[in-house]
């Protein structure tokens, strides 16, 4: 491949990447500061950008250049990985008509507005027609991209390349079988006192505490921001501009602090992506599952540890004065309660994956044609009753709680569980290699762990697949073993006999 052609390939890919970044800036804006009335107008802009990006990605010239790049590169080289990753994305995109891509992008803004309103007023009918349209369009997209496998595989692949419904079904079945008894154990014992995390905590103080912890973990606020939003998220336009959002509850510091620590994990990954591969196919995170492994690792394995709290307790006392009598042990127990709950993002570590299992099951039925949108609220409530023994009184706390479907993100939820499992497996490997991590956290030393993650995960961009990355870093394929060991140990300690 001539150097001019090579340059041309990276120039074209850079433009595609720029359009993605522009879209992400607008998405961030629409979930933080944009007035609600701006959503229909914003939908048009999103559709235009999605159409432009799609056309650029499907241009025959790009496919030819990507093939040449791959053909002219040696086995194991970055050039080969760049070419292959480009071809993978191009081949998926060309199967979907530009008109459909544009229509989905426009509908996202409209359905986001309807979902927000429906959630606020707890009224499903306001949102139902838009969700029906979204499901219809996503069924069309799934039909375009699905290969021999299920339609759902086509959707999964967008978030977790290579993931298969048929492999996730037994994984979730095993998790259900293991987690329900853990929940029953906790329920059969004396409840945990949660007063250590409750009080009256002003917004500014909670924000300051979260920012101190995020900065200590290594998040660079000169290359990022933290803003309020309805649903916390993190988005990186490039490694010098990573935006996190948060929300808070005045009476309990957990949603704000753990929301921020979670997004910090995502943010550290975005800030650690390889600069040399910026605006290239390899310059992105591997998959959403690996992204989530980073957020869950910092949120849970670090942020809920006793070591972290040995270091953070003085900060807590400083920022939230009502907590002066709170101890590390008291907080630790309140952070490891296990009980059925309605809201996924606030669920404890043991029941969290049961929430994901419910969504996985419902999405599969929706895309297999065994469930219609009109039946969703009831199917949702029935599933919660069956698995967790509780039923939402308001649809806002049931099927309307999550933003994903409004944004057309079907097939996304399983990545939360994959990420949770990976976070425990990675942390186990890090502990083996770095020694007493808890002791380091107690001294406020989070840099060794971040350095390890940079080296093992962040710096590789998309060079390895998710499966390869986990296997080369932890020495075994992704499994539930480390996660189950971790939650069982915690539940025994938080709920002594």
Task: Name the residues that contact Zn ion, by CB under 5 A.
Answer: 295
Q: How far is the CB of 295 from Zn ion (least distance, A)?
A: 4
Residue closest to 176 by CA, chosen among 484, 489, 428, 492: 484
Residue from 31, 85, 263, 456 carrying the catalytic annotation: 263
Q: Token pair of 53, please?
A: 């990006």
CA-to-CA separations, 346 to 106, 107, 194, 258, 415, in angstroms, rounded: 30, 28, 14, 9, 17
Residue closest to 403 by CA, chosen among 19, 38, 30, 23: 30
Task: Name the residue nearer to Zn ion (CB basis): 130 or 356.
Answer: 356
Q: Which residue in the shown chain puts its C-beta closest to Zn ion?
A: 295
Helix, strand, coil abundance in the chain, percent, nearest 5: 70, 5, 25
Task: Name the residue nearer to Zn ion (CB basis): 295 or 337.
Answer: 295
Task: Name the residue nearer to Zn ion (CB basis): 294 or 323.
Answer: 294
Q: How far is the CB of 360 from Zn ion (least distance, A)?
A: 16
Provide the Cα torsion 39, 45, 48, 52; round to 10°. Answer: -120
Contacts of 107 (CB under 8 A, 6+ apart): 43, 130, 133, 134, 137, 408
Q: How far is the CB of 68 from Zn ion (least distance, A)?
A: 37
Task: Name the residue nearer to Zn ion (CB basis): 267 or 398.
Answer: 267
Task: Name the residue nearer to Zn ion (CB basis): 39 or 418.
Answer: 418
Q: Is 378 a catalytic residue?
A: no
Q: How far is the CB of 266 from Zn ion (least distance, A)?
A: 6
Provide the Cα torsion 150, 156, 160, 166; round to 10°. Answer: -40
Q: How far is the CB of 440 from Zn ion (least distance, A)?
A: 24
Count of beta carbons in the 10 Å neighbourhood of residue 256: 22
Q: How far is the CB of 232 from Zn ion (least distance, A)?
A: 8
Q: What is the C-alpha to C-alpha distance for residues 320 and 61, in angstroms, rounded to an integer?
A: 58
Task: Name the residue nearer to Zn ion (CB basis): 295 or 305.
Answer: 295
Q: How far is the CB of 262 from Zn ion (least distance, A)?
A: 6
435: left (phi > 0), else alpha (psi -120 to 50), else beta? Answer: left
Q: What is the C-alpha to C-alpha distance for residues 371 and 150, in angstroms, rounded to an integer?
A: 16
DSSP code of 212? Answer: H
Q: What is the C-alpha to C-alpha distance for residues 53 and 45, in angstroms, rounded to an integer?
A: 12
Task: Name the residue nearer to Zn ion (CB basis): 17 or 263.
Answer: 263
Q: Where are the beta strands (DSSP E) in 380-447?
A: none
β-pairing verdict for 224-228 and 241-246: parallel
Catalytic residues: 263
């Amino acid at each position: 491949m001539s150097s001019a052609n090579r340059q041309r390939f990276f120039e074209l890919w850079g433009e595609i990447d720029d359009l993605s970044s522009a879209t992400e800036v607008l998405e961030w804006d629409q979930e933080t500061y944009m007035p609600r009335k701006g959503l229909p107008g914003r939908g048009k802009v999103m559709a235009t950008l999605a159409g432009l990006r799609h056309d650029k990605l499907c241009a025959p010239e790009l496919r030819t250049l990507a093939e040449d790049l791959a053909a002219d590169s040696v086995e194991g080289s970055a050039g080969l990985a760049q070419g292959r990753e480009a071809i993978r994305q191009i081949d998926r995109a060309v199967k979907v008509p530009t008109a459909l891509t544009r229509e989905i992008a426009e509908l996202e803004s409209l359905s986001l507005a309807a979902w927000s309103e429906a959630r606020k007023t707890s009224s499903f009918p306001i949102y139902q027609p838009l969700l029906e349209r979204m499901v219809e369009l996503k069924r069309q997209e799934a039909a375009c991209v699905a290969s021999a496998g299920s339609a759902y595989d086509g959707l999964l692949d967008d978030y977790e390349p290579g993931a298969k419904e048929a492999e996730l079904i037994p994984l979730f079945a095993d998790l259900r079988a293991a987690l329900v008894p853990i929940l029953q154990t906790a329920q059969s014992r004396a409840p945990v006192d949660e007063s250590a995390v409750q009080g009256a905590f002003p917004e500014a103080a909670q924000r300051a505490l979260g920012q101190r912890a995020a900065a200590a973990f290594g998040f660079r606020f000169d290359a990022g921001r933290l803003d309020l939003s309805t649903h916390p998220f993190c988005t990186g336009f490039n490694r010098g501009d990573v935006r996190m959002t948060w929300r808070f509850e005045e009476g309990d510091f957990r949603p704000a602090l753990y929301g921020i620590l979670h997004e910090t994990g995502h943010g550290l990954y975005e800030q650690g992506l390889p600069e040399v591969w910026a605006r290239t196919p390899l310059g992105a995170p591997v998959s959403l599952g690996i992204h989530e492994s980073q957020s869950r690792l910092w949120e849970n394995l670090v942020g809920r540890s006793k070591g972290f709290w040995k270091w953070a307790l003085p900060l807590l006392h400083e920022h939230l004065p009502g907590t002066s009598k709170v101890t590390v042990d008291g907080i630790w127990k309140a952070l490891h309660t296990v009980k059925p709950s309605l809201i996924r993002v606030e669920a404890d570590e043991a029941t969290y994956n049961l929430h994901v299992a419910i969504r996985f099951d419902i999405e599969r039925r929706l895309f297999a044609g065994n469930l219609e949108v009109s039946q969703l609220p009831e199917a949702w409530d029935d599933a919660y009753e069956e698995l967790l023994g509780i039923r939402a009184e308001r649809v806002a706390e049931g099927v309307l709680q999550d933003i994903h479907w409004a944004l057309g993100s079907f097939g996304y939820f399983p990545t939360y569980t994959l990420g949770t499992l990976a976070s425990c497996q990675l942390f186990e490997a890090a502990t083996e290699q770095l020694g007493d991590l808890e002791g380091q956290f107690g001294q406020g030393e989070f840099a060794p762990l971040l350095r390890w993650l940079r080296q093992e995960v962040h710096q590789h961009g998309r060079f390895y697949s998710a499966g390869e990355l986990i296997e080369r870093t932890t020495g075994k394929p992704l499994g539930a073993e480390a996660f189950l060991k971790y939650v069982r140990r915690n539940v025994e300690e938080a709920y002594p006999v």
